[in-house]
Chain A
Amino acid sequence: MKTRARIVPILIFFLLAASLAQAAFKLPAPEKLTLKNGLVVYFLKNAEVPLISFRLNLKGAGSAQEPGELEGIANLTADQIMKGPAAMGAEAVSEALDFMGARIGLSASEEYAGLSVDCLAEHFPKVLDIASACLTSPAFKDDEFEKARKIRLDGLKSIKDNPGAAVRTYFTKAYFGTHPLGHLASGSEASLAKMTAADVRAYYQKYYGSKGAIGALVGNIEKDKALELLNAAFGGWKGAANVPIGTMPPIPAPKGMKLILIDKPDATQAYWVMGAPGYALGDKLTAPATVMNTLFGGRFTSWMSTELRIKRGLTYNTSSNFQTYRRGGLFTASSYTRNEKIGEMLEIVFDLLKKVGTEGFSAEEIESSRNYIQGQFPPTLETNASKAGTYVRLAFYNLGFDYYDKYLAAIQAVTQASAKDSAAKLIPTTDFVLVVVGKAAEIKAQLQKFGTWTEKKISDPGF
């Protein structure tokens, strides 16, 4: 084909890679706005569509430091904040937002809570006002807490009706145990039984504050106007004085194989997830591991997809990926297949896990993976929301706004050797957690050869 003109001589790859990445696409550098209370908001004007996106990361308000007996409280607190200030109430908040076709979201991830505001530019002052009212003076009404608690308890039940979602939840619990990453965002039956509205109020008092928070605003608005509106909305807010940074204990590293079978008697497919430790945000392994994982299970023609779907028709979908946090990360792989094929599928997967770290990839594969990552990068920063989200994430983790320029250059510098080396370090062959959800009567015999399985019924309480 005509388009394979890009052959990168190894000796000059640094220079060339950097120029390629720049020629291709660059995250525009934002301007820094500082509000009256010191809160920093990065700003970029984009007049292409009459929309504005605003993001605010609140350090510490994530789930990383939730006490185990109150798992889920970070997310429940975020949910309750959006039920509005005393002067307004949940119905008025949703009425006003729906009327403007606007969205405000607040949710807790592991290391921070994130506020997101997306709306038409003409509505932005009003929408920002609502976001500010909710975030800075939430009412925390008891009846709203009760409603949210019940919905979460119901949600825990319905997860078990969806084997694809259930296997993820069982995996999370099996892998992380009491580690904060094992906390369910919805809370568990035990934590929801114990949690009170007072706990939520206390969580807010302790963890929600402007100090250390970082914002970004991208959209069709002038800088001066943006600063004026942001100051009116958040410039007077202080909140909690000394919010902890929100880092978590080291990510567990399993020793040996931990194999768990969840019996779901009506399942006609068996679903599995496996996992092992990954790498931290900003780690030097990022580029080689990304090139490697793209080839292993990260795109349509990946090894996993080729062997399981394309060649054998065993499944509709399979993938692997790395999640990264400040101090560590997680590798997971997953798929599903009809009951009678689960043994065959897992055998193939185990072979691939062994092969990737010992044999590595061809030069053509490496080049393909690099091209793919470079080619698919620009659309990831196309919208106001994705740009704003990227600014707060980069600033929050101190990665710098040239992070992606360096990242793309590093991708271009990945070699067969560095990709193979990252696989040898990161792809598990003997130490991992594997959870299967399926009909035990039809799959158990196929699983015995892999080791000893701990068995549970899906109807057993909890996960």
Chain B
Amino acid sequence: MKKSLALGVLFLFAGASLLPGAFRKEDIKIHQLENGLKILLLEDHVIPNVALYTYFRVGSRNERPGLTGVSHFIEHMMFNGTAKVGPGEFDRKMEFAGGSNNASTGDDRTGYTDWFPASALEMMIEMEADRIQGATYDPKVFESERQVIASERRMAVDNSNDGILSENVRATAIMAHPYHWDVIGWMSDIQGWRRDEVMSYYKTYYAPNNAVLVMVGDFKEAEALALLKKYFGPVPASPPPPVVLTVEPPQMGTKRVTIRKEAQVPSFQVVWHGPSVRSPEFFPMSILGDALLRGQSSRLYRRLVRQEQLAVRVGGGQSENIDPFLFQIDVQPRPGADLARIEAVIEEELAKIKAEGITDAEIQKSLNMTRSGFYMGLQTISGKAGQLAEAEIMYGNFEKLFTLMDNYSAVKNPKIIEAAKKFFTDDNKTVGTLIPLGGVK
């Protein structure tokens, strides 16, 4: 029956062009208002809805001790009232008009994502423009929302073994750069943020010249642009925010961190300082990360889960951040698994890559996975808006999205060996383990 399914017989097609007709650079209309707001518009009339994504170039990367987590807190407070739109009214008006939204904060950016019927376009644009500088930070709401964040932290970090290990590993590996702390912030900072400091941070980073607005969906470009000019045009520009000066110094020896807590199963994570997403070294690191960790055919899945049965799952890869960030390997060990053996297996696999690189088939596999993942993300107006907004923030210009595949395709084995030798050294490594305390069996 199915004869030719083994590896090697599979067609090795050349990297076909990445982007389909429905998502061409020339269809994306670029505008910039006088106040510096960059606008990307893409008409798409498949469904009668619009995705409006407003991304600000601010995240935990811009924070300082005492104000950790504040970027994320501001994201929450953006729904809690302006002079024109009272606390909670943004959501009530939006939902009444058939819309929904979410928002997210990362190390490098804060994104506001609205999905609504085309009929709500003007109202949504008006409310988004209003809250860029209009948030009032009502003191009572401020205190209540502080506790929402505390609850979010308890859920995502304090009551999550992987969350707490990850926070500890990051803080151990990264000494000086603000990537030292997690986006959620330290609990003592969450409980201590002062309203005046939060508002000053908001004023610094929430300005049209520090944002990109992407709209994809069922609108006419000229009409949409007129509305955007009407409501966003009057919002004044701010002085450019301070640049992040701190550069993480080179690590000078393996670091280890151990968490002991009540748990049923251990957790394991190992990280190395890697490149910035804007560095040419990002592409070989990303491809070798796929060979090691992506899918059930990856090298570490095969070794740790399938062959030696030391783990239930593996994951990770090169993080995509503006400043150099970590390459990480997360392992969910089986209960009672030998964690030293897990680390040894990982080192064996890295040694092979440092010596021989990876196979051409593995490189092609990574390219194919990236290509198919990319298309899957282009099936929706929200997927398209998200790709454009992220690319604009992360690469500094969304147009780089359209040559991204060329950068991946150009990677050959010598670059992979070079990157592996440079980053996967003992001195550059941090290992984290979470060990279950006795008691619970």
Q: Using a CB-CB cutoff of 8 Å, which residues 1-41 of chain B contact chain A?
A: 1-3, 5-7, 10, 13, 16, 20, 22
Question: With the chains together, A294 CA to B98 CA distance in Å?
Answer: 12
Q: Using a CB-CB cutoff of 8 Å, which residues 161-213 of chain B contact chain A?
A: 161
24 contacts between A and B (CB under 8 A): A4-B96, A48-B379, A49-B22, A51-B376, A88-B2, A93-B5, A94-B296, A94-B297, A98-B298, A99-B365, A101-B369, A101-B373, A129-B5, A150-B309, A158-B312, A310-B144, A312-B147, A317-B155, A338-B147, A338-B151, A372-B96, A372-B98, A376-B100, A379-B47
What residues of B have a CB within 8 angstroms of the CB of A301 in the complex? Answer: 88, 91-92, 95
Is the pair A300, B95 in contact by a Cβ cutoff of 8 Å? yes
Is the pair A372, B122 in contact by a Cβ cutoff of 8 Å? no
Q: How many residues of A contact B (CB 8 A)?
A: 86
**Closest chain A residue to B368, Cβ basis:** A101
Apart from A101-B373, A163-B159, A385-B379, list 16 A-B contacts with CB within 8 A: A85-B1, A87-B5, A94-B297, A98-B296, A157-B335, A160-B264, A266-B261, A269-B151, A269-B155, A300-B101, A372-B95, A372-B98, A375-B120, A378-B48, A379-B381, A382-B379
**Does B279 count as interface, using CB distance less than 8 angstroms?**
no
Is the pair B123, A1 in contact by a Cβ cutoff of 8 Å? yes
The 6 closest A-B pairs by CB, nearest first: A375-B98, A101-B372, A313-B147, A313-B144, A94-B296, A98-B295
What residues of B have a CB within 8 angstroms of the CB of A208 in the complex? Answer: none
Q: How far is the CB of B198 from chain A (nearest CB, A)?
A: 16
Question: Given A310-B88, A336-B151: A85 and B334 within 8 A (CB)?
Answer: no
**Does A358 count as interface, using CB distance less than 8 angstroms?**
no
**Does B143 count as interface, using CB distance less than 8 angstroms?**
yes
**Does B286 count as interface, using CB distance less than 8 angstroms?**
no
Question: Given A3-B122, A150-B309, A372-B95: A101 and B371 within 8 A (CB)?
Answer: yes
**Does B294 count as interface, using CB distance less than 8 angstroms?**
yes
Is the pair B100, A300 in contact by a Cβ cutoff of 8 Å? yes
**Does A194 count as interface, using CB distance less than 8 angstroms?**
no
**Closest chain B residue to A364, Cβ basis:** B96
What residues of B have a CB within 8 angstroms of the CB of A155 in the complex? Answer: 312
**Does A34 count as interface, using CB distance less than 8 angstroms?**
no
**Does A24 count as interface, using CB distance less than 8 angstroms?**
yes
**Does A244 count as interface, using CB distance less than 8 angstroms?**
no
**Does B117 count as interface, using CB distance less than 8 angstroms?**
yes
Is the pair B100, A92 in contact by a Cβ cutoff of 8 Å? no
Is the pair A98, B297 in contact by a Cβ cutoff of 8 Å? yes
Question: With the chains together, A313 CA to B154 CA distance in Å?
Answer: 13
What residues of B have a CB within 8 angstroms of the CB of A119 in the complex? Answer: 372
Is the pair B98, A51 in contact by a Cβ cutoff of 8 Å? no
Question: Given A120-B372, A310-B88: A379 and B382 within 8 A (CB)?
Answer: yes
Checking A100, A154, A385 against B265 with a beta-carbon cut-off of 8 angstroms, the contacting residue is A154
Most buried by A among B101, B116, B119: B119
What residues of B have a CB within 8 angstroms of the CB of A184 in the complex? Answer: none
**Does A137 count as interface, using CB distance less than 8 angstroms?**
yes
**Closest chain B residue to A374, Cβ basis:** B98
**Does B226 count as interface, using CB distance less than 8 angstroms?**
no
Is the pair B159, A459 in contact by a Cβ cutoff of 8 Å? no
What residues of A have a CB within 8 angstroms of the CB of B380 in the complex? Answer: 379, 382-383
What residues of A have a CB within 8 angstroms of the CB of B238 in the complex? Answer: none
Is the pair A338, B150 in contact by a Cβ cutoff of 8 Å? yes
Question: With the chains together, A48 CA to B144 CA distance in Å?
Answer: 46
Chain B contacts to A: CB under 8 angstroms: 1-3, 5-7, 10, 13, 16, 20, 22, 46-49, 87-88, 91-93, 95-101, 115-117, 119-120, 122-123, 143-152, 154-155, 158-161, 261-265, 294-298, 302, 306, 309, 312, 332, 334-335, 361, 364-365, 368-373, 375-376, 378-382, 439-441
What residues of A have a CB within 8 angstroms of the CB of B335 in the complex? Answer: 154, 157
Q: How far is the CB of A414 from chain B (nearest CB, A)?
A: 15
Q: How far is the CB of A319 from chain B (nearest CB, A)?
A: 13
What residues of B have a CB within 8 angstroms of the CB of A311 in the complex? Answer: 144
Is the pair A94, B117 in contact by a Cβ cutoff of 8 Å? no
Q: Using a CB-CB cutoff of 8 Å, which residues 288-328 of chain A contact chain B?
A: 299-301, 306, 309-317
Is the pair A314, B147 in contact by a Cβ cutoff of 8 Å? yes
Is the pair B306, A91 in contact by a Cβ cutoff of 8 Å? yes
What residues of A have a CB within 8 angstroms of the CB of B147 in the complex? Answer: 312-314, 338
Is the pair B6, A88 in contact by a Cβ cutoff of 8 Å? yes
Most buried by A among B123, B155, B373: B155
Question: With the chains together, A372 CA to B101 CA distance in Å?
Answer: 12
Question: With the chains together, A154 CA to B1 CA distance in Å?
Answer: 36
What residues of B have a CB within 8 angstroms of the CB of A50 in the complex? Answer: 20, 375
Q: How far is the CB of B274 from chain A (nearest CB, A)?
A: 23
**Closest chain A residue to B79, Cβ basis:** A300
Most buried by B among A92, A94, A306, A379: A379
Is the pair A96, B88 in contact by a Cβ cutoff of 8 Å? no
Question: With the chains together, A267 CA to B161 CA distance in Å?
Answer: 11
**Does A7 count as interface, using CB distance less than 8 angstroms?**
no
**Does A133 count as interface, using CB distance less than 8 angstroms?**
yes
Q: How far is the CB of A21 from chain B (nearest CB, A)?
A: 11
Question: With the chains together, A97 CA to B361 CA distance in Å?
Answer: 13
Is the pair B371, A92 in contact by a Cβ cutoff of 8 Å? no
**Closest chain A residue to B267, Cβ basis:** A161
Q: How far is the CB of B393 from chain A (nearest CB, A)?
A: 23
Most buried by B among A92, A95, A299: A95
Is the pair A316, B148 in contact by a Cβ cutoff of 8 Å? yes
Question: With the chains together, A395 CA to B313 CA distance in Å?
Answer: 36
Is the pair A87, B2 in contact by a Cβ cutoff of 8 Å? yes
What residues of B have a CB within 8 angstroms of the CB of A51 in the complex? Answer: 372, 375-376, 379
What residues of B have a CB within 8 angstroms of the CB of A126 in the complex? Answer: 5, 10
Is the pair B365, A24 in contact by a Cβ cutoff of 8 Å? no
Q: How far is the CB of A91 from chain B (nearest CB, A)?
A: 7
What residues of A have a CB within 8 angstroms of the CB of B10 in the complex? Answer: 96, 99-100, 126
Question: With the chains together, A147 CA to B301 CA distance in Å?
Answer: 13
Checking A1, A97, A120, A336 against B371 with a beta-carbon cut-off of 8 angstroms, the contacting residue is A120
Q: How far is the CB of A128 from chain B (nearest CB, A)?
A: 10
Q: Using a CB-CB cutoff of 8 Å, which residues 109-132 of chain A contact chain B?
A: 118-120, 122, 126, 129-130, 132
**Closest chain A residue to B261, Cβ basis:** A266
**Closest chain B residue to A120, Cβ basis:** B372
**Does A401 count as interface, using CB distance less than 8 angstroms?**
no
Is the pair B376, A85 in contact by a Cβ cutoff of 8 Å? no
Question: With the chains together, A51 CA to B379 CA distance in Å?
Answer: 9
What residues of B have a CB within 8 angstroms of the CB of A49 in the complex? Answer: 20, 22, 375, 378-379
Is the pair B98, A161 in contact by a Cβ cutoff of 8 Å? no
What residues of B have a CB within 8 angstroms of the CB of A3 in the complex? Answer: 97, 119-120, 122-123
Q: Using a CB-CB cutoff of 8 Å, which residues 1-36 of chain A contact chain B?
A: 1-4, 24-25
Q: How far is the CB of B108 from chain A (nearest CB, A)?
A: 23
Most buried by B among A132, A267, A269, A312: A269
**Does A102 count as interface, using CB distance less than 8 angstroms?**
yes
Is the pair B154, A338 in contact by a Cβ cutoff of 8 Å? yes
Q: How far is the CB of A150 from chain B (nearest CB, A)?
A: 7
What residues of B have a CB within 8 angstroms of the CB of A300 in the complex? Answer: 91, 95, 100-101
